[in-house]
Amino acid sequence: MEQLLRNIFLFLSKNKGLTKLAKRYGLRFGASRFVAGETIDLATAVIKDLNEKNLDVTIDYLGEFVDHEEEANEMADNSIKAIEAIGRENLRSQLSLKMTSMGLDISDEIVLRNMRKILDAAKTNHVFVTIDMEDYSRCQKSIDIFKELRKDYDNVGTVIQAYLYRTVKDIEDLNQYHPNLRLVKGAYKESPQVAYPEKKDVDENFKTIIKMHLLNGNYTAVATHDDAMIDFTKQFVKENNIQNDQFEFQMLYGIRPERQLELVKEGYKMRVYVPYGTDWYGYFMRRLAERPANVAFVLKGIVKK
């Protein structure tokens, strides 16, 4: 049943018609638990509250299915506004973004132009930018563009997904850039031709790339809500005398907030991924797909209304 629900929500996440409908009717049906609001002002208030609790943040202006250059340019402008807000308000926040929202599916010229504008603004405001990884069909292209940008910018990182067979080779290949990487299990529905179908195999590969990236001496963001992975990381860094300033834990806004605060109290850096904007539907569907508890929460909220 759990796998069936996951497949349904992942399928719905790619529905362009429902995405447009969700934009029209705003953050309803429980989405506000996972999304900070539709504007940068609302998101800023959330970030300030998290910072006061000693939680760091990465903010993401949500957007998917960008098919036209004007939309991509608008998404880039909104990312720059977020960067400027971070600088202006002295927020402890980075920026995350999807390159499809910057024009990845339109042309390399458009996405590179928008990314350079964003990274220039980020450099001025001392903000680090992480390129989120998307589905497998865009993986290689995303990595190629990251490499191109890394030639000129040291304030950019990307994401590596443990459920892909190619992941270990990607870690080896990217090591020459000494990159700051966010390591995740992966949240898209992929073919068993390219991704491990079994959770146990994904977990083992996740442990492998955590060890590799840390031992390579690179900054490592372990993005997970899984206590087993958190405990594994804590034990591994202890056994290998890896300092706490070489890694951090990351979790999503609205998921396990108590555990986030516990990790801070234990002396670990904890970063919360805070999305905002009107294009929240695809992100929301993937959060429902990840954990049945999320579905239960939303249904409970709808019944109460």
Instruction: Summarize pLDDT for 170-194 with one digit per residue, the tens.
Output: 999 999 999 999 999 997 878 999 9
Give CA–CA dist 237/167, Å, rounded: 21
Give CA–CA dist 300/305, Å, rounded: 9
Is 59 within a domain?
yes
Is 221 within a domain?
yes
Is 147 within a domain?
yes
Is 287 within a domain?
no
The sign of the torsion formed by the CA atoms of 69, 151, 62, 82 equals: negative
Is 78 within a domain?
yes
How is residue 278 written in tokens? 């009107």
Is 12 within a domain?
no
132 is catalytic: yes
Would you call 271 helix, strand, or coil by DSSP?
Answer: strand
Would you call 159 helix, strand, or coil by DSSP?
Answer: strand
Give CA–CA dist 252/272, Å, rounded: 6
Give CA–CA dist 37/232, Å, rounded: 34
Is 261 within a domain?
yes
Strands (E), the chain: 56-61, 93-98, 129-132, 156-161, 181-184, 220-223, 247-252, 270-276
Question: What percent of the chain stands above pLDDT 70?
Answer: 80
- Supply the range of the domain harboring residue 165: 36-279
Catalytic residue among 56, 132, 203, 279: 132
Per-residue pLDDT 10s for the chain (305 aa) are 445 444 544 444 455 554 454 444 445 555 567 888 889 999 999 999 999 999 999 999 987 668 899 999 999 999 999 999 999 999 999 999 999 999 999 999 999 999 999 999 999 999 999 999 999 999 999 999 999 999 999 999 999 999 999 999 999 999 999 999 999 999 787 899 999 999 999 999 999 999 999 999 999 999 999 999 999 999 999 999 999 999 999 999 988 999 999 999 999 999 999 999 877 666 666 666 665 554 444 434 333 33
Number of folded domains that form the chain: 1
| CATH number of the domain residue 161 falls in | 3.20.20.220
- Half-sphere exposure at residue 102, Cβ-oriented, CA atoms within 13 angstroms: 26
Is 229 within a domain?
yes
Which is nearest to 50 in space by CA: 65, 67, 36? 36
Which is nearest to 147 in space by CA: 185, 173, 182, 169? 173
60 is catalytic: no
- Name the helix (H) or strand (E) containing 57: strand 56-61
Give CA–CA dist 61/51, Å, rounded: 19
Catalytic residue among 182, 271, 286, 287: 182
